[in-house]
Amino acid sequence: MDSLALFFTGALLAAGIYWFVCVLGPAEQKGKRAVDLSGGSISSENVQDNYDQYWSFFRRPKEIETTEKVPDFVDTFYNLVTDIYEWGWGQSFHFSPSIPGKSHSEATRLHEEMAVDLINVKPGDRILDVGCGVGGPMRAIAAHSRAKVVGITINDYQVNRARTHNKKAGLDSLCEVVQGNFLEMPFPENSFDGAYSIEATCHAPKLEEVYAEIFRVLKPGSLYVSYEWVTTDKYKDSDPEHVEVIQGIERGDALPGLRNYTDIAETARKVGFEVVKEKDLAKPPARPWWTRLKMGRIAYWRNHIVVTVLSAVGIAPKGTVDVHEMLFKTADYLTKGGDSGIFTPMHMILCRKPEKKTETASNS
């Protein structure tokens, strides 16, 4: 009887672990399993060192404004967090307004489709995804618009993940992924029919530099839309709590420095764009985007336990626990930023590259 009870206890424990890790553990879109967490392109034995180097960046504030330093810093960040993002969040590394009656994944897809609808592309047009990550938005946009989407990301590991997902989704004929720095894109002038960036250009040390590159590669008359991370009119740099929240977001998301919403249109015009429309998509009647973070607190704790166990037994690399804890704390700062209204991740700006002026010949 004792042996039978022991057997059932063991079976129950094994089933519980399986349910905890394999059923609860995977990301919403099943992009990554907990047991496959890695440090991206960083070897397992170097994850902890790279995490420590990431944090040392913030102890050298002058380098945060140095353009040539930032790409490596951002690349390191995405090596550290990409698998955790996919596992715990999904394949679209951004927020979206909550929509009554819609799941998070449905709301995310609608938010992505709106971006491509705004730039008025046609099936077969060639459009640019600036900072494509593992390609969640790219696939939704390609499927919705039937445009050919070229995505660029600085992180080589994300390139491979995106290509794998594109093939699995049967969208590799519409989706192309290129490894590169969006401050120096490997594309000729006037080569895209439209462009979008979804919560990506916040990683640029100077917004003017990435906007100028997007302007360069767009065909005259084409549209570009961006969802920008910014501080709002409610942010006061004289308020210590406001400063702490914004700095917490910057440190936990590899941001050289958050911009104010007033800077966005000014920068777009400076590089030559015409500003067609500008709107904070997080403002009412939009439902709060940060509710997903609040509702996900139990999932964060569950995932943190899973990561801790997997790291302790040597399945997840050393340093993964620290990375996950960083993201957990950052979620609190993001929630506070949303609750207080001092931060929005979806300040939308729609721009047009002017048509070329035609020269009229003189008949004299």
pLDDT digits (tens, 9 = 90+) for 72-111: 889 999 999 999 999 889 999 999 999 999 999 999 999 9
The mean pLDDT of the chain is 89
Q: What are the E-state strand segments in 70-189?
A: 126-130, 148-153, 175-179
Which strand (E) or helix (H) includes residue 218? Answer: strand 218-231
Question: CA separation (Å) from 32 to 2, 66, 258?
Answer: 40, 34, 30
Which strand (E) or helix (H) includes residue 197? Answer: strand 192-198
* Confidence grade of residue 292 (pLDDT, cut at 50, 70, 90): confident
Query: What's the confidence (pLDDT) of residue 6?
Result: 67
* Confidence grade of residue 306 (pLDDT, cut at 50, 70, 90): confident
Query: What's the confidence (pLDDT) of residue 23?
Result: 52
pLDDT at 29 over 50: no
Query: What's the confidence (pLDDT) of residue 26?
Result: 47
Question: Quick one: tokens of 17?
Answer: 């672990």
pLDDT at 25 over 80: no
Share of the chain above pLDDT 70, in %: 86
Share of the chain above pLDDT 90, in %: 71
Query: Alpha-carbon Rg of the chain, whole angstroms?
Result: 22
Cα 61-63-65 angle, rounded to 5 deg: 90
- Residues 301 and 311: their CA atoms lie apart, in Å, by 15
Provide mean pLDDT across the span 265-274. 98
Query: What's the confidence (pLDDT) of residue 129?
Result: 98
Beta-carbon contacts of 58 under 8 Å, excluding residues fewer than 6 positions away, are 64, 251
Q: What are the E-state strand segments in 31-179?
A: 126-130, 148-153, 175-179
- Residues 106 and 110: their CA atoms lie apart, in Å, by 6
Query: What's the confidence (pLDDT) of residue 364?
Result: 36
Q: What is the DSSP letter of 154?
A: S
Lowest-confidence region among 63-77, 82-96, 114-128, 336-350: 63-77
Most confident of 21-30, 138-147, 300-309: 138-147
pLDDT at 172 over 90: yes
Query: What's the confidence (pLDDT) of residue 69?
Result: 75
Lowest-confidence region among 42-56, 144-158, 194-208: 42-56
- Residues 360 and 126: their CA atoms lie apart, in Å, by 31
* Confidence grade of residue 359 (pLDDT, cut at 50, 70, 90): very low
pLDDT at 344 over 90: yes
- Residues 164 and 169: their CA atoms lie apart, in Å, by 9
* Confidence grade of residue 352 (pLDDT, cut at 50, 70, 90): very high
* Confidence grade of residue 347 (pLDDT, cut at 50, 70, 90): very high
* Confidence grade of residue 358 (pLDDT, cut at 50, 70, 90): very low
Lowest-confidence region among 23-37, 169-183, 221-235, 280-294: 23-37
- Residues 296 and 42: their CA atoms lie apart, in Å, by 28
35: closest CA among 47, 25, 45, 50?
Answer: 25
Strands 274-280 and 343-352: antiparallel
Query: What's the confidence (pLDDT) of residue 64?
Result: 57
CB distance 41 to 158 below 8 Å: no
pLDDT at 271 over 70: yes
Question: Higher model confidence: residue 156 or residue 303?
Answer: 156
Query: What's the confidence (pLDDT) of residue 27?
Result: 42
Query: What's the confidence (pLDDT) of residue 14?
Result: 60
Question: Quick one: tokens of 80?
Answer: 């550290």
